């Protein structure tokens, strides 16, 4: 019997590896489909109750809401970002659109720094602009190419987007059942398993809602403010603020504060003052208002772990690491807490040191 069980486990392991290998090209689509289903799960639950338990119809309406509220704006923002990055590339005679601003920055630098830049070969503004433009272009290309998971072409993007939307329907409709099937078969005692899966679910939902939605909101609001103030390339700045808001020690202020200082130093006084006021009372308050509303009392990762897991995930995995990184750390942290707590309690749930 033991040999039969070992053979079955070996077959299951091989089948699992084969399954993961087959779906690997669509890893990004599946990851973001899971994230979207978690974000829109509350809407699906409300619709299912209102529609008398018709889960298919509720999932369809939720998926349509997801497309309109998340996918369409994301594609539009990505297209604007790519367009603005392309506009920074040499257009006429190899010049970029930012010579005046860079000249103003160079004029404010001390002489010793000019000397250091000349020694480093970085004192040529045109060469520096071309370098920054190429860096932005390659970064955006790799970002959106990596995000779709199966290539950078239009066909690959369409296929991956279709897989994401299709998978989102089933994750939205059957997400709880799938989660229960996976967690119920974990080789752990029932008490530890239930506590572990509940807390991991709380951390996962809190991390997604408290990070991704807030980041998109801050980036969108910040980009709109930059556009209204006439600041060049607002989509690029919006993306930068959204990305920085994912890193708790920095936040969107790491983008709008230097820009406000630059505007003040270069004579754009009213734009700088308006940006400071909007940054403090609009962009800054988005996090304070949305995060408690979205996260509530659910568990959250410590900020230093969010920073390390996000940067580590981006470095090792790419854009998917924004989700996978914090999730791995959440599982690690909750597992340690759950197992440690279980070691200090008896089977009846009482503290062993107090018994």
Can you give the residue ranges of every domain in the chain?
A: 25-185, 188-355
Task: Give the pLDDT confidence of 228-278 residue by residue, as tens digits.
Answer: 998 877 888 888 888 888 877 778 888 898 888 888 877 788 988 999 999
Measure the CA angle with vertex 22, ends 21 and 23; round to 5°: 95
Q: Given this model, what pLDDT does residue 57 score?
A: 92
Which of 77-81, 167-171, 242-246, 306-310 is predicted most confidently?
A: 167-171
Mean confidence (pLDDT) of the chain = 75
Task: Give the pLDDT confidence of 114-147 residue by residue, as tens digits.
Answer: 666 666 555 565 555 555 555 555 544 444 444 4
Q: Given this model, what pLDDT does residue 213 score?
A: 82
Give this prediction's pTM.
0.66
Question: Which of 125-129, 164-168, 179-183 shows the lowest mean pLDDT across its residues?
Answer: 125-129
């Amino acid at each position: 019997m033991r040999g039969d069980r070992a053979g079955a486990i070996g077959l299951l392991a091989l089948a699992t590896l084969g399954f993961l290998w087959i779906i690997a090209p669509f890893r990004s689509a599946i990851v973001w489909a899971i994230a979207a289903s978690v974000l829109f799960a509350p809407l699906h639950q409300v619709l299912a109750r209102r529609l008398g338990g018709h889960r298919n119809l509720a999932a369809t309406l939720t998926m349509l809401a997801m497309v309109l509220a998340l996918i369409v704006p994301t594609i539009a923002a990505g297209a604007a970002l790519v367009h603005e990055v392309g506009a920074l590339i040499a257009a006429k005679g190899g010049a970029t659109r930012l010579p005046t601003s860079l000249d103003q920055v160079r004029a404010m630098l001390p002489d010793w720094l000019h000397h250091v830049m000349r020694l480093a070969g970085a004192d040529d503004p045109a060469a520096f602009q071309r370098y920054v433009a190429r860096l932005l272009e390659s970064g955006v290309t790799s970002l959106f190419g990596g995000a779709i998971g199966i290539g950078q072409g239009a066909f690959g993007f369409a296929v991956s987007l279709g897989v994401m939307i299709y998978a989102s329907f089933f994750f939205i409709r059957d997400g709880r059942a799938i989660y229960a099937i996976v967690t119920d078969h974990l080789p752990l005692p029932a008490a530890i398993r239930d506590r572990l899966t509940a807390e991991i679910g709380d951390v996962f939902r809190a991390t997604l809602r408290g990070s991704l939605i807030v980041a998109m909101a801050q980036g969108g609001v910040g980009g709109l403010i930059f556009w209204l103030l006439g600041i060049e390339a607002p989509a690029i700045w919006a993306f930068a603020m959204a990305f920085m808001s994912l890193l708790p020690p920095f936040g969107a202020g790491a983008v709008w504060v230097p820009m406000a200082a630059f505007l003040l130093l270069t004579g754009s006084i009213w734009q700088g003052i308006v940006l400071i006021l909007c940054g403090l009372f609009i962009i800054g308050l988005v996090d304070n208002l949305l995060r408690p509303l979205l996260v509530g009392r659910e568990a959250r990762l410590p900020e230093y772990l969010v920073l390390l897991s996000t940067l580590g995930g981006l470095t090792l995995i790419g854009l998917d690491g924004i989700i996978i990184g914090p999730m791995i750390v959440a599982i690690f942290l909750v597992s340690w807490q759950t197992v440690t707590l279980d070691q200090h309690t008896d089977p009846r749930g009482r503290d062993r040191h107090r018994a």
